[in-house]
């Protein structure tokens, strides 16, 4: 669907416990700044090699018992797993086809040197993932008695600072920020020591309807249980946005002009959509 498909796959701290599994790939640390990408589906008969959100050492296919070592070298077959590489940015995020900007959000994450992968949550929807990304960019719908009743009590619209760059938008509030890297990734930073990476996985990239998602949580040891519980309410907020996208009628269309400044990022997303859409 798009010419540009930048990805934020995970935070590099997830690789401290071995190869980390995301929906598309098994991530293998090649060096301090490079990550090997292995196909998550066995190249023999396309059986999944591991579940997203888990760690693996040696890689094993349960279907026909094919095996690879942790570096993707075949042990009892001649099938290749390696399918490319991703970079570890200054932020610590594992990125593919994305250039990190010189910006405070990168600096904030670069200071989080003690993060540890905690867990992942997953889900699926028959709705439009394009409408979902539009909802994620939309601050106007964050109002009392609206889509996000709990979040609207935590964060006031007037306290949010909106910034944008090449293929990303940032919304900063007093306790952290929300980052969107187009077209599939949502990152949240809770100041300090809380990071979330959420990825949308379309069922068919040429069709806007139907998608899965996985949300990865990372914490520093200094973050207590109460802070973690509050931070993880974002899972409820995300599901509220999914429900919103499922209720919106018809195919996605870009917003041309904002009726309110809090829709400015919807316009930014819509412009990116038009510029990167494969005709």
Domain ranges of the chain: 7-88, 102-276
Rounded CA-CA distance 219/228 in Å is 8
Q: What is the mean pLDDT of residues 251-259?
A: 96
Q: Return the pLDDT at 151.
A: 72
Q: Return the pLDDT at 143.
A: 72
Q: How confident is the model at residue 144 (pLDDT cuts 50, 70, 90)?
A: low
102-276 homologous superfamily:
Naphthalene 1,2-dioxygenase Alpha Subunit; Chain A, domain 1 (3.90.380.10)
Beta-carbon count within 10 A of 207 CB: 12
pLDDT(147) > 90: no
Rounded CA-CA distance 80/77 in Å is 9
Q: Return the pLDDT at 13.
A: 98
Q: What is the CATH number of domain 7-88?
A: 2.102.10.10
Q: What percent of the chain has pLDDT over 90?
A: 89
pLDDT tens-place string over residues 221-244: 999 999 999 999 999 999 999 999
Quote the mean pLDDT of the chain: 94
Q: Return the pLDDT at 156.
A: 81
φ, ψ for residue 278, nearest 5 deg: -80, 120
Q: Return the pLDDT at 157.
A: 82
């Amino acid at each position: 669907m798009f010419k540009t498909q930048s990805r934020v796959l995970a935070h590099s701290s997830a690789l401290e416990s071995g190869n980390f599994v995301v929906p598309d790939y098994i991530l293998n640390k090649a060096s301090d700044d490079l990550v090997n990408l292995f196909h998550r589906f066995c190249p023999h008969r396309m059986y999944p090699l591991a579940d997203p959100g888990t760690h693996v050492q040696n890689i094993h296919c349960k279907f026909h018992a094919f095996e690879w070592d942790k570096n993707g070298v075949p042990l009892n077959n001649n099938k290749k797993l390696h399918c490319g590489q991703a970079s570890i940015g200054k932020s610590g995020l594992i990125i593919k086809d994305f250039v990190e900007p010189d910006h405070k959000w990168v600096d904030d994450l670069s200071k989080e040197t003690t993060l540890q992968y905690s867990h992942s949550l997953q889900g699926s929807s028959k709705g439009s993932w394009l409408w979902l990304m539009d909802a994620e960019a939309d601050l106007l719908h964050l109002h009392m008695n609206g889509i996000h009743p709990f979040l609207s009590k935590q964060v006031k619209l007037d306290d949010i600072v909106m910034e944008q760059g090449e293929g990303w938008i940032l919304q900063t509030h007093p306790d952290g920020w929300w980052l969107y890297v187009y077209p599939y990734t949502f990152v949240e930073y809770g100041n300090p020591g809380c990071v979330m990476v959420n990825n949308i996985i379309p069922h068919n990239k040429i069709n806007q309807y139907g998608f899965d998602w996985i949300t990865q949580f990372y914490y520093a040891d200094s973050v207590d249980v109460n802070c973690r519980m509050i931070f993880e309410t974002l899972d409820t907020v995300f599901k509220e946005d999914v429900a919103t996208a499922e209720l919106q009628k018809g195919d996605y269309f870009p917003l041309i002009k904002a009726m309110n400044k809090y829709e400015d990022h919807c316009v930014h997303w819509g412009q990116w959509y038009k510029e990167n859409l494969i005709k």
